Structure 1
C-alpha cells in the first residue's frame, strides 16, 4: 500500500512525541540491557541441540505472562506432547517438580491446582501428533481459536524450524531453501505487524566445525553464528532480533574470568537487534537451576531470578472458582525470594 506522507502526519507526530519505544523486559537485568520483546516483530534463537533454546524461550514466555499478563500459543514438538509441556510449565511456575514420582518433590495438591489454573489461563499448546504444521496452517488455527474463545495470543512460540512443514514454500521456490525461508519470514513479519504479536523461532546451526581444546582434552562446537543457520545470510537479513545461545563444555576454561565454565552456565549472544531502539549487540550469562527449572542471573555476586532485581512485580492472575483473600480493586503484588539447590545434590544430570 502506497502512503502519502501527509496521510500519516498524526502518527509521525505521535512517534516524534514519544520517541522509539523499547519492547518489554525479559526479566533479567543483563539481558534487558541487550534485548527486549517488541510486539509486532519476531525473534530467532539459534543453538545446538540440547543447549537450551526451548528452555530460554519458555523462560521468556513465563516472565512475559508474570509481569505483563501476556498469553502464549506454544508449538514445540521437541519439548514433548501437550501433557508433558503442561507439566513443564507448571514446574516452572511452582519452581518445584509437580511429578509425584519425583522423590524430591514437595508439591501439594493445592499448589498443583493453582499452578494448573495459571498455566491454563496463559498458555495454549498446539499438538502436532496428527499433522506437521506449516506457518499458514498454524496462523489459521490461531485466528480461529482467538475468534472462538474471544481471546488474544500476544506471543507465539513455533520451534524448532525443522519441525515445521515447509514443503509448499519449497515447491513455490523450486526447492531453493534460502528463497523459501525468505518468503516464510516475510509472511511472518507481515502477520506479526498486522496482529501486533511477537513470535519466537529457533534454528539449529549447520556445518559447524568441531574444535579440540588440548588443555582440557575437550572437543566442542563454538558459539554459533547467524550465518551458520539454515538459509545463511538470507535468514539473517529477514530476522528482527537474532540471539545465539551456547552451553560451554564442562572443563573448558572461560578466558574472561580464567576459570572453568560452570556446569549450569549459558552464554547468550544478541547478534542482531531490530527495529531501532529494541536492543543492541552484546553477550550476557544466565544460569540454570535444575530443581526450580528456571534461569537466574548473577548481580554483584548475588543470585537473582527473573524480576528479583526490581522491588515488586505486578502479577496478573486469572479469575478462578477459588478466590485469594485480597482486595480486587488493588493490584496484586508479591516479592519472590528463591535460592537454587546445588546441582551436586542430585544424581541425575540437569536437563538443560
Structure 2
C-alpha cells in the first residue's frame, strides 16, 4: 500500500516549502554591505514625519472603538473568539464600515461561509439592515437587493474554495498570499481577511511553533509589502478553564494555540466575546476587546467596549448607535425586547463552543 507523503504533496502547491533548508543561502553578486541604511539615507522621510507626524491608525467609524483599535497599513491583525461568539460577524461588520464610508476594497477567504452567494447575502443583510430571505417579514426590496449586490461587486472579492479545488490549488497560506498579490497588482484592495486560520491547509511535517513563526512572518511581510491590513481569524485552544458559574473567560492571546508566537508576530490581537452565552444563548450582549497593540500612541491602547448584536439587521450597536443606520430612513430596532429577536445566527460553524456542557 502506498503511503501519502503529505509534505511532498504540499510542496507541489507550495513552492515556499523547499526540500532542504535554504534560510542561510545568499544570492550571488550582492554587496551585503548595501543591506545597511544610515540615518542620512532616511532623512527626507524622517523630516516629513517630524513636520506632519507619523501615519496613525485609521478610524473604524466606531468612535467608541477607536481608542482601543484602529486600522494601520502594514499591520497584521489576529481576531479570536469562541465558536458562535460572532467574531466573523464583527469582522465583516468592520469591513463593511470601511467599504461604505471610506471606499475600501476587501479580499476574503471564508470557506466556512460557503457557498459564496450566502456569504454575499450575509454582507447584504448587514449593509441594508434587512434580510434577503423571503420567509422573513423584513425582507429587503429587490431594488435594495440589486443596489447591495452592485456595492458588494465593487468592494468585495471572495476566493472561491470550489474554484481552487477545480484547479488543484490547495488553500495553503502561501497560495492565498500569491492570489492576494496577483489580485492586488490588478485591483488594489485595503483589507485581507482569512476566516479562520484552521481551515487553511498547513504543513504538518514542521513543528507547530516553527511553522507558525515562518508563516506569520510571511503574513506580516505581505501586509507591509502591499501596505494593506491583514486580518486572520483564529480559534482559542481547547481545555480553557471555566468560571464557577460556567462562563468562559474573554479569550486573549494566551488562549490561542501557540499563543506566544501569535503575540510575537502579530501587531494587534483582539477578541469578540459573548459574556452571557453560558446563561442564555439568545442573549445579544457582546464585547470587543483588544489585548496586544503595537505602536500604541498611533493605533490605540488595549481595552474593551460593550456592544449589542441586532440579528434583525445583522449589525452591532454601541451605546444605542450603529453607523449603518440612515437617520430618517432606517429606524433602529435596538430597543425592541430581546425576546422578540429571532434565533441567533452568529457565525455558521456547526461546532459547539469549546468545552460547552450542552
TM-score between both structures, scaled by the size of structure 2: 0.79
Q: CA deviation at 1:250?
A: 4.6
Residue deviations 1:191-245 (CA, integer Å, cap 9, x gap) = 11111111111111114434253xxxx5232111212212121221111011022
Residue deviations 1:45-104 (CA, integer Å, cap 9, x gap) = 01111111111110110011011101000111122221111111111111100122x232
CA distance in 1, matches of 2:82, 2:174: 27
Counterpart of 2:232 (choices 191, 201, 204) is 201
Counterpart of 1:64 (choices 82, 87, 98) is 98
Q: Check whether the contact 2:220–2:230 (CA below 8 A) recurs between aligned residues.
A: no
Q: CA deviation at 1:335?
A: 8.0
Q: What residue ranges of structure 1 are gaps of 5+ in the alignment? A: 253-259, 314-333
Structure 1 partner of 2:139: 106
| Structure 2 residue 313 is matched with structure 1 residue 292 | yes
TM-score between both structures, scaled by the size of structure 1: 0.80
Q: Check whether the contact 1:30–1:285 (CA below 8 A) recurs between aligned residues.
A: no
CA distance in 1, matches of 2:318, 2:331: 12
Residues 338, 74 of structure 1: alpha-carbon distance in 2 compared, 3 angstrom cutoff = farther
CA distance in 1, matches of 2:220, 2:109: 18
Q: CA deviation at 1:275?
A: 2.9
Matches within 5 A, 1:213-232: 213=244, 218-232=245-259
Structure 1 partner of 2:183: 145
SS at match of 2:272: strand
**How many residues get paired?**
305
Q: CA deviation at 1:337?
A: 5.1
Counterpart of 1:304 (choices 316, 321, 337) is 321
Q: Check whether the contact 1:182–1:238 (CA below 8 A) recurs between aligned residues.
A: yes
Structure 2 partner of 1:280: 301
SS at match of 1:30: coil
Counterpart of 1:186 (choices 198, 206, 217) is 217
Residues 132, 263 of structure 1: alpha-carbon distance in 2 compared, 3 angstrom cutoff = farther
Moved more, 184-193 or 21-30: 21-30
Structure 2 partner of 1:349: 344
Larger strand fraction of residues: 1
Q: What residue ranges of structure 2 are gaps of 5+ in the alignment? A: 1-34, 348-358
Counterpart of 1:266 (choices 255, 280, 286) is 286
SS at match of 1:305: coil
Residues 46, 145 of structure 1: alpha-carbon distance in 2 compared, 3 angstrom cutoff = same
Q: Check whether the contact 2:75–2:224 (CA below 8 A) recurs between aligned residues.
A: yes
CA distance in 2, matches of 1:151, 1:263: 40
Structure 1 partner of 2:332: 339
Residues 228, 151 of structure 1: alpha-carbon distance in 2 compared, 3 angstrom cutoff = same
